[in-house]
Structure 1
Amino acid sequence: MHEQKEIMHLIQILLPLYDNEGKPFPQHEFELVRDELTERFGGLTTYVRSPAKGLWKETSTTTVHDDIVIYEVMTEQLDQDWWRGYREELAARYRQEMLIVRVSEVQLL
């Protein structure tokens, strides 16, 4: 007999460390996101020690890069409307045309 595995949703938020002019965002902006997510989901994981690099083609001859921090939360229920609104709010706060919030289903072993 197999026991049923628990399925969770892993949500990742990719936040830029710098604005479009190369100025670092103030630390309190990241602390605010941390506090908001911890309050709503009871905890989070943050990858900040060595920032991840985002690379993408802007045109056929130019590549843009961005240093990012990744915030992760896990939840049983996925409230897509809430996440869509929160992504839009973060995009405005971080002055981004597109801010990535992605979700994966994970199986706890």
Structure 2
Amino acid sequence: MYLIELFLPLADNQGSPFSREQHKAAEHVLTEKFGGVTAYPRAPASGRWKASDSGQHHDDFIVYEVMAEELDVSWWQGYRKELEATFRQERLVIRSHPVRLL
């Protein structure tokens, strides 16, 4: 069993917010594919990183989680590219962790 986490930004790199519909579309895809999704929209996470242009960047994002029996890496790589286009990002973080249900 795997726990997969997606970090989707609330705004693009220029600060223009994404619509709720864009996030709902991702929720719909994840629900259809995995039977459910958990979102943490009320307490957005905040991230900061150093870019290659020597500046610092900041994002506020919603964390989404799904659980899957198998990890289909090729599907996730394709879906990440789709989300990067939708959310106008050079790179989105999607990570997986093996988990055991207790």
Match of 2:32 in 1: 39
Give me the identity figure in percent: 50
Instruction: Give me the CA root mean square deviation.
Output: 1.3
Separation in 2 of the partners of 1:30 and 1:81?
22
Q: How many residues align?
A: 102
Q: SS of the residue aligned with 1:22?
A: coil
Q: Which runs of 5+ in 2 are unaligned?
A: none
Aligned counterpart for 1:100 among listed residues 88, 93, 98: 93
| Cα displacement string for residues 6-34 of structure 1 (whole angstroms, at most 9, x for unaligned residues) | xx100011001001111110110000000
| Higher gyration radius (CA) | 1
Deviation at 1:62, TM superposition (A): 3.3
Match of 1:3 in 2: none
Deviation at 1:58, TM superposition (A): 2.1
Which letter maps to 1:86? Answer: Y
The alignment's TM-score, normalised by the length of structure 1, stands at 0.88
Separation in 1 of the partners of 2:52 and 2:75?
33
Equivalent positions of 1:16-35 (< 5 A) are 16-35=9-28
Deviation at 1:61, TM superposition (A): 5.8
Separation in 1 of the partners of 2:65 and 2:98?
13
The alignment's TM-score, normalised by the length of structure 2, stands at 0.94
